[in-house]
Amino acid sequence: MPHRTVAVASRVGLHARPAALFSQAAAASGLPVTIAHGDRPPVDASSVLMVMTLGAKHGAEVTIAAEGDGADEVLDRLAELLETDLDAPEQS
């Protein structure tokens, strides 16, 4: 199955806004996408609740996988999202 392993760039980790943006993007892809962190089994990437329970912190490596038409493009897009700091800065 096509997959990508990337480090979470968001400073808060894969929580809150970054988790919501990622799960929405996964859901919008139309393909079943999974995400895994550590040695636990992969979870549904379109579920913000499951994504949050991964507890992936800033810099943590996660593996996303998808199958079907255009899986590679979808994974590239989602990987790029994970490699971006999705949390807007609040400090001066």
CA 14 to chain centre: 7
First to last CA, the chain: 44
**Coil/strand/helix, residue 62:** strand
Q: Which is nearer to another protein, 27 or 60 (CB)?
A: 27
Of the residues 22, 25, 46, 78, which one makes contact with another protein according to CB under 8 A: 46
Contacts of 53 (CB under 8 A, 6+ apart): 43
**Active-site position among 3, 15, 37, 58:** 15
Looking at residues 14 to 43 of the shown chain, list those that interact with another protein (rule: CB under 8 A). 15-17, 20, 23-24, 27, 43
Q: Is 63 in the site for another protein (CB under 8 A)?
A: no
Q: For 33, phi and psi rounded to 5 degrees? A: -115, 140
Give me the residues that bind another protein (CB under 8 A), please: 9, 11-12, 15-17, 20, 23-24, 27, 43-44, 46-50, 52-53, 55, 80, 83-86, 88-92
Q: Which residues are catalytic?
A: 15
